[in-house]
């Protein structure tokens, strides 16, 4: 599931949404104002953010830019009913907004839509985050360097998480059908990925190939 930052100055709303989101399998990072939200943004890898527009100090509109710069999808929480305010948020780049008071089930449904929409552009699980557009990889929020071939192989594995991929299919997808060499090349690159991501992330399928399983104990 996702790591979601929730910034709202209303503690009752934070407590309620924290319970619902956690129960749904998400990890929730809480902030009571804009300053704390910025601090948490620097400390944690965030998959999506819920920002209250009307917070003391820095409001949600001002805070949004820091998240949008990192391509983190936003959903605004607002008590403002004026159409101009809602349009402003969407034009800034927010994925959606929801008016207070709201039903938690509705918010969860909107979050699921946002995450599904973004899923094809990124992989995130167990502290490993792969951005397919930017071709970047972060582990526990810290960027990790990969060679071009290592990255392409990792992208192939994560996009097919749980599926057994043959060595031949992996060579065709990453190196091309005209590759001249041995399937041992795949084994070497898998070992390099395991060294950077953890041995448990890639499972060997006996006499066939490999399967991406991700981090199991995070």
| Interatomic CA distance for residues 201 and 53, integer angstroms | 39
> What per-residue string of b and e applies to 8-33 under the rule 16 or more CB within 10 Å gives b?
bbbeebbeebbebbeebebbbbbbbb
The reply to whether 138 and 176 lie within a common domain is yes
Is 217 a member of any domain? no
Quick check: is 27 in a domain? Answer: yes
In angstroms, the CA 136 to CA 155 distance is 10
What are the tens digits of pLDDT across the range 53-82? 888 888 888 899 899 888 888 999 988 766
pLDDT tens digits, one per residue of 131-159:
888 899 999 889 999 999 999 999 989 98
> The whole model's pTM is what?
0.56
Using only C-alpha atoms, the chain has a radius of gyration, in whole angstroms, of 20
Choose the final residue of a domain: 69, 88, 119.
Answer: 119
Same domain, 96 and 16: yes
Decide if 9 is inside a domain: yes
Domain interval for residue 136? 126-212
Verify that 46 and 102 share a domain, yes or no.
Answer: yes
Residue 159 in domain: yes
Give me the CATH number covering residue 21. 3.40.50.2300
How many domains does the chain contain in total? 2
């Amino acid at each position: 599931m996702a790591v979601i930052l929730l910034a709202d100055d209303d503690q009752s709303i934070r407590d309620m949404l924290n319970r619902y989101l956690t129960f749904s399998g998400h990890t929730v990072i809480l902030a009571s104002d804009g300053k704390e939200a910025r601090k948490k943004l620097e400390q944690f890898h965030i998959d999506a953010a819920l920002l209250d527009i009307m917070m003391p100090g820095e409001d949600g509109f001002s805070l949004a830019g820091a998240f949008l710069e990192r391509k983190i999808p936003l959903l605004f929480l607002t008590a403002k009913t004026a159409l101009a305010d809602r349009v402003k948020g969407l034009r800034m780049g927010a994925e959606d907004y929801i008016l207070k008071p709201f039903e938690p089930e509705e918010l969860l449904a909107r979050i699921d839509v946002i995450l599904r929409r973004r899923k094809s552009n990124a992989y995130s699980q167990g502290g490993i985050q792969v951005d397919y557009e930017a071709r970047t990889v972060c582990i526990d929020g810290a960027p990790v360097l990969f060679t071009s071939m290592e990255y392409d192989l990792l992208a192939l594995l994560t996009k097919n998480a749980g599926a057994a991929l043959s060595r031949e299919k992996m060579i065709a997808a990453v190196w091309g059908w005209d590759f001249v060499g041995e399937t041992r090349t795949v084994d070497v690159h898998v070992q390099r990925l395991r060294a950077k991501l953890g041995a448990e992330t890639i499972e060997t399928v006996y006499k066939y190939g490999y399967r991406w399983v991700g981090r199991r104990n995070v």
